[in-house]
Amino acid sequence: MRLTRMLALGAASLALLSACSLGGGSKPTIKIGSVGFDEARVMAEVYAQVLEANGYTVDRTGIGLGARPVVAPAIESGQIDLQPEYIGSRISYYGGTPSGDSAANLTALQPLANAKGLTVLNYTPAVDTNAFVVRADTASQFNLTKVSDLTAVQDQLKWGLAQDCPTNPLCGAPGGALQAGYGITQQTLAGATLLSACDTPMADALKNNTIDVAELCSTQPDILVNGWVLLADDRNTQPADNISPIVRDDYLAKVDKTAFEKILNDVSAQIDTATLADLYKQVAVDHKDTKDVASAWLKAKGIVK
């Protein structure tokens, strides 16, 4: 009888140990991160809340972590498990050549991400692009409608560029978009004020005349609110930047991968450019909390209760 009881206890302990090693059917905490500007932060919050509604525990420590050179190593190392990413820009970060074709960009990014232990999920219909913007008075004074118009007057303007611009091929890296595509000189680039792209400090600098040319996102609400001029990328140097959740493969291995991906893919499918721009505006211009903005949208769409 005693031996039977000991065997039973041993079997129970083994079962408990096995359950613990497999997670016991529970969903492991997911660490979500993002780059620092408002649009990316609200997208990270949208993904965080829909996962929470489906039983996941979310660690938000990494949301707003920093620029791509900070966030990309963070997900590759396991500091975070998921991030919303702009797929064209991520291709460029990995040394590839993105295009204006969203589907082609996803196809090109997937193997680059796989090599880092990452999977790229479906992208949003919403497209954002890197944009160069001037005030209406500047556009009128120098007759600016497209980026190539800046070339002849570049030394008469104060430039505000992204913090990673000097090494980013879509911006000011040697042989990159501004130098090779538009003839913007190293002297001009070296004199630029470096600020967080697509973020309030860059918009404020343009509004306050601290700079005359600002690198913003095409969806940035400040452009419309202030009547600024978004210059046409007439040399087609900037890629289509749809947003996709990128997830660590080792995290996907711990959960029901098909169900997890469906949760996020279903949400991404409902975010078009107008929706993305509105979410961005509510945070950046209306100064609403990202959690409140994400929650209101998810409830309005019937995605969460």
The 10s digit of each residue's pLDDT in 240-298 is 999 999 999 999 999 999 999 999 999 999 999 999 999 999 999 999 999 999 999 99
Of residues 34, 38, 36, 53, the one with CA closest to residue 264: 53
Q: Over the chain, what is the mean pLDDT?
A: 91
**SS3 at position 7:** helix
Is the separation of the CB atoms in 167 and 221 below 8 Å?
A: no
The answer to whether residue 163 scores a pLDDT higher than 60 is yes
Contact 126, 86 (CB under 8 A): no
Backbone angles phi, psi at 235, to 5 degrees: -100, 5
Classify the phi-psi angles of 242: left when phi > 0, otherwise alpha if psi is within -120 to 50, otherwise beta. Answer: beta
Produce one character per residue of 23-38: b if its CB has 16 or more CB atoms within 10 Å, e if not.
eeeeeeebbbbbbbbb
CB 96 within 8 A of CB 262: no
> Once rounded to an integer, what is the mean pLDDT over residues 226-251?
96
pLDDT at 15 over 60: no
pLDDT of residue 198: 87
Residues 6+ apart with CB under 8 A from 45: 60, 63, 290, 291, 293, 294
- Compute the distance between CA of residue 215 and CA of residue 199 in angstroms, rounded to an integer: 9
pLDDT at residue number 26 = 80
| For residues 69-79, average pLDDT | 97
Report strand pairing: 159-162 vs 193-195. Answer: parallel
Q: What is the pLDDT of residue 19?
A: 36
pLDDT bin (cut points 50, 70, 90) of residue 25 is low
What integer is the mean pLDDT of 89-110?
Answer: 95
Question: Which H, E and C letters describe 113-134, residue by residue?
Answer: HHCCCEEECCCCCCEECEEEEE
Given pLDDT bands bounded at 50, 70 and 90, which one contains residue 92?
A: very high
Which residue segments constitute the domains of the chain, with CATH numbers given?
28-127+241-300 (3.40.190.10), 130-230 (3.40.190.120)
State residue 131's pLDDT score.
95
**Position of tokens 């938000």?**
60
Q: Where are the alpha helices (DSSP H) in 122-236?
A: 136-142, 182, 186-190, 200-207, 221-226
The burial of 212, by beta-carbon neighbours within 10 Å (0-12 exposed, 13-18 middle, 19 or more buried), is given as: buried
pTM of the model: 0.82
List, edge to edge, every strand of the sheet that includes 159-162.
193-195, 159-162, 213-217, 130-134, 229-230
Mean pLDDT of 80-90: 97
Task: Give me the helix-helix angle, 290-300 and 273-284, nearest 10°.
Answer: 150
> Residues 6 or more apart from 271 whose CB is under 8 A from it?
43, 46, 124, 125, 126, 243, 279
Q: Residues 168, 255: contact at Cβ < 8 Å?
A: no
214 pairs with which residues across the strands? 133, 160
Q: What percent of the chain has pLDDT over 70?
A: 92
Cβ-contact 242, 86 below 8 angstroms: yes
pLDDT tens digits, 167-223: 999 999 999 999 999 999 999 999 999 998 888 899 999 999 999 999 999 999 999
Other C-beta atoms closer than 10 Å to the C-beta of 169 total 21
| pLDDT value, residue 16 | 38
Collapsed DSSP state (helix, strand, coil) of residue 251: helix
Confidence of residue 10 (pLDDT cuts 50, 70, 90): very low
